[in-house]
Structure 1
């Protein structure tokens, strides 16, 4: 059995309008290592000045400097990355691809088509720079377009789960303790996966004890999204959401299905120095 480790790389934060105030949204990439492979799941967001100019929101980090520094912490440069797997092509998950000219970028064909012609409500999330960085790669053989579930390498499975976007995919990684699903925005906080559990959310909903909570940003129906989440649960042991502060930073050393409590959820706790 092929086993891997997963490291959470927090490339920055976004400060997003929410209920009349601001919400902190941590932005993660994921470094999957094992069996001679270095795999980067998602390539993160641009630097905050660029995002502020385009979307009028603040934050911290992002861009080439942040991603290069995170890789360096693990003794890596972009040249060491064999695959960059894009869970989807929204601006906070698919920028910085130009750092990886020699890596194989892996994306669902439906996602690329959806990025070029998105559902109207998602036009703001797909940036031309992400599309251009993918299509303008020097060697077209360095782009792998998929049509459904796929085994990337032994022990790393990609699940096609149309939901949040038309070509959403989840990365399921085999570790010494079990299968960890990097679920990205299929359910980007633990509350979406465990909506009735007080450890996952401050507002548990008993009516959802046998179901999931689906997001508002979607290309598919709620029923399709529920099936997508069930498909992931059936093929993994734990989930790792994209934008929750409580995600494990090192797997399998840290291994849990649900956080101990909501105490570490900093979404509505102002960052040091306040929002900017």
Structure 2
């Protein structure tokens, strides 16, 4: 299986806000986890910001959905930005459930603890209105301190759901547009992930809560997500075309 790693740039009211900061460079990932890939690290993130006419210093806030290695690295690029994370997630990173120890890296924890509070680190407890039009929903599920970022746009509320259903198939498991293997038994429900700190019932409630507070969901690791919102706006892809998760990359899996 292969997944893209997405970070989101949210702009409004003169602010540039990054949702998740991505993962380190592939050589380090390969060394630690024996996972291959391309990109990652400072060069990829700097290049993506440059494409939007920005430098790392232009980012005022970095909102971390959770602290797994593929979502919360590269924080050293943003020493003066305010990192926003659930207090429960920082505690989970320090003392994770055993099955998630491999996903929390000490470098991220060290960066957060060394930051000045509250100017460089904002720890929130539960739901939080960060700015007008940007709401954080606390949804323990994938991790104990998981949060989803709800962004109000001209077309509606977009939920950057991260790994609370990181592909469209988790949100639309009975829809043939979202998955090549639709499951009728999951009509009206969701497909929950295998990496979790909470129960399946907790996860189902969390996903239902996000649906109730948003108009569309944007998964973290689906190849088909819209690149620009609200210019591109859809609740579900038109088909499974472009869903490359199980398609070997050029040269095959390693």
User: Structure 1-normalised TM-score?
Assistant: 0.90
Cα deviation for residue 133 of structure 1 reads 1.4
Cα deviation for residue 37 of structure 1 reads 1.1
Cα deviation for residue 270 of structure 1 reads 2.3
Cα deviation for residue 269 of structure 1 reads 1.8
SS in 1 for 2:150: strand
Aligned length, in residue pairs: 253
SS in 1 for 2:2: strand
Q: What residue ranges of structure 2 are gaps of 5+ in the alignment?
A: none
Cα deviation for residue 40 of structure 1 reads 0.1
> Would you say 1:87 and 2:101 are equivalent positions?
no
Cα deviation for residue 103 of structure 1 reads 0.5
Match of 1:164 in 2: 142
SS in 2 for 1:159: strand
Structure 2: how far apart are the matches of 1:25 and 1:68? 20
Of 110, 115, 135, 2:113 maps to 135
Cα deviation for residue 67 of structure 1 reads 0.5
Deviations 1:36-73 (A, max 9, x none): 11110000000000001101110110001110111011
Match of 1:28 in 2: 6
1:147-186 to structure 2, matched below 5 A, reads 147-186=125-164
SS in 2 for 1:24: coil
Match of 1:59 in 2: 37
Match of 2:181 in 1: 203
Cα deviation for residue 218 of structure 1 reads 0.2
> Would you say 1:242 and 2:220 are equivalent positions?
yes
Structure 1: how far apart are the matches of 2:234 and 2:143? 27
Of 35, 41, 48, 2:19 maps to 41
Deviations 1:126-175 (A, max 9, x none): 010111111122x3321000000001100000000000000000000000
Deviations 1:101-140 (A, max 9, x none): 1100000000000000000000000010111111122x33
Report the aligned-residue RMSD.
Answer: 0.9
Structure 2: how far apart are the matches of 1:271 and 1:122? 27
Match of 2:233 in 1: 255
Greater strand proportion: 1
SS in 1 for 2:37: strand
Match of 2:55 in 1: 77
Q: What residue ranges of structure 1 are gaps of 5+ in the alignment?
A: 1-22
> Would you say 1:192 and 2:179 are equivalent positions?
no
Match of 1:270 in 2: 248
Match of 1:17 in 2: none
User: Structure 2-normalised TM-score?
Assistant: 0.98
Structure 2: how far apart are the matches of 1:64 and 1:135? 21
Cα deviation for residue 210 of structure 1 reads 1.0
Cα deviation for residue 274 of structure 1 reads 3.7
Cα deviation for residue 273 of structure 1 reads 4.1
